[in-house]
Amino acid sequence: MTERKDILCIGSVLWDIIGRSASHMRQGSDVPGRITRLPGGVAMNIAMTLARFGMAPTLLTAIGRDAEGDELVRACQRMGMRTDLIYRSEDLPTDRYMAVEGANGLIAAIADAHSLEAAGAKILGPLEDGALGSRDTPFDGLVALDGNLTVSLLEKIARSPAFAAADLRVAPASPGKAERLLPFVNSARATLYVNLEEAGLLCQTQFDTSADAARGLLKRGALRVLVTDGGNAATEADENDLISQTPPEVLVTRVTGAGDTFMAAHIAAEASGASRADALARALQAAATYVSGDTPL
């Protein structure tokens, strides 16, 4: 048996409240459908997929000491995640995200990650107090970091000695928060996972293909990037190599979480020793399976 590989997942762990309808929707629509609540947040979505791919995630996040928070922590534990280093706040409520999806895709979403933002650097305590790392022995394993943290905290992480030895994988939380990742582009730190729109936002332009976007990000200083573009070709690139591959054709039944699934599958593939081309192919396959998954309406 191979040992489960550890990975730190840092960022949002919250409740997703998702409304889904089989109808085509637009602003002001009022239609029948299903409303579900499930664990979410980019860091959590990545952690859930990593766990499915056989990795052992440790969560670093802020969760309220309220009933919703207790239930969320139990849900994380049931999925095999390490939760004892989570910052549990007495006075901050557990964060929430709300989205509405119609037959024509995501209509709108609101992320309320205020507690994570308010907790700030407190969630990173275990990387400094010896639980996971310290000043003299920084953490040197895999880290998946999401861009729900504040810009100032992300800037601090991009420069921090506590992260200098880590294999850092970073994803934006949403297009609205993409620019928060600029410190990682400018400082040539980390592997960045972005979609085409987010790549454009980071470079203040618009790209037509993932390969163009990858070149644009590298030119601005990024160390290594993965750019996805829905059903079109995705690209992985660093200063030495650029690989583009087209995702398998599938019937899309859900869109929330495709990017997170892609990133987690790619990290897991590399952690198991896959080559660059294989890791990209496995991530595209996993994302295709995910977006074509069953969603009872």
Residue 42 interface partner, choices ligand PSU, ligand ADP, none, CB cut-off 5-8 Å depending on type: ligand PSU
**Are residues 179 and 214 in contact, defined by beta-carbon separation less than 8 angstroms?**
no
Nearest to 82 by CA among 131, 152, 24, 147: 131
CA distance 144 to 19: 28
- Contacting range for ligand ADP; rule: CB under 6 A; set: 72-80, 139-147, 212-220, 258-266: 258-266
Of the candidate residues 259, 267, 268, 271, the single one contacting ligand ADP (CB under 6 A): 259
Give min distance, CB of 129 to ligand ADP, in A.
34
Residue 89 interface partner, choices ligand PSU, ligand ADP, none, CB cut-off 5-8 Å depending on type: none
Backbone angles phi, psi at 217, to 5 degrees: -70, -40
CA distance 226 to 237: 7
Query: Is there binding between residue 145 and ligand ADP (CB under 6 A)?
Result: no
Query: Is there binding between residue 166 and ligand ADP (CB under 6 A)?
Result: no
Query: Is there binding between residue 97 and ligand ADP (CB under 6 A)?
Result: no
Cβ distance to ligand ADP smaller for residue 134 or 285: 285
Query: Is there binding between residue 213 and ligand ADP (CB under 6 A)?
Result: no
Give min distance, CB of 51 to ligand PSU, in A.
15
For 79, the token pair is: 């999925």
Residue 181 interface partner, choices ligand PSU, ligand ADP, none, CB cut-off 5-8 Å depending on type: none
State how far the alpha carbon of 239 is from the alpha carbons of 217, 220, 221, in Å.
11, 12, 10
Cβ distance to ligand PSU smaller for residue 107 or 223: 107
Task: Catalog residues that contact ligand ADP under the rule CB under 6 A.
Answer: 195, 228-231, 234, 247, 250, 252, 258-259, 262, 284, 287-288, 291
